[in-house]
Structure 1
Amino acid sequence: MRSRPVPSPCVCVCALDENDICIGCQRSSAEITRWSDMTDDERLEVMKLVAKREEKIAL
């Protein structure tokens, strides 16, 4: 069990692109909205998606 919740990836650059993905943290608007209600497991799944999105923009 984690002693602290999974932290938000927010970097305070809040703007959604044409695909509804934040250009700062790479989360969708739905993921951002739900973040505070998510379990740690759900947050970890979102972080996996964030990593995949970051890989795409790094290419």
Structure 2
Amino acid sequence: MSDDVWNRDEVQSPCIKICVIHPEARLCTGCLRSIDEITQWSKMSNEARAAIMAELPTRTGQITKRRGGRAARLGNPPRI
């Protein structure tokens, strides 16, 4: 028995449930989408989603690790 309700040909979200927006790049550090792309995803056409998915690998260089953070400000070494 085929269930057409659950079989869809939609481009799936790249979300990996690490939802943190990088302060400088303004991209999610998990999926590399912008806030606008994330909020509009469910309303986008498959073509628009596919275009974003194709562009995501080029965005990895825009995210740089933040150095220090709270531990550096307090003079505490990072825990590993």
Cα-to-partner distance string for 1:32-54 (whole Å, 9 max, x where unaligned): 01100000000011112212113
* Number of aligned residue pairs: 54
Choose between structure 1 and 2: higher helix proportion: 1
Say whether residues 1:45 and 2:39 are aligned partners: no
1:12 aligns with 17
Structure 2 gap segments, 5+ residues each: 1-7, 63-80
If the length of structure 2 is used for normalisation, what is the TM-score?
0.62
Relative contact order higher in (CA < 8 Å, ≥ 6 apart): 1
Taking only aligned residues, the RMSD between alpha carbons, in angstroms, comes to 1.3
Identity percentage over the alignment?
37
If the length of structure 1 is used for normalisation, what is the TM-score?
0.82
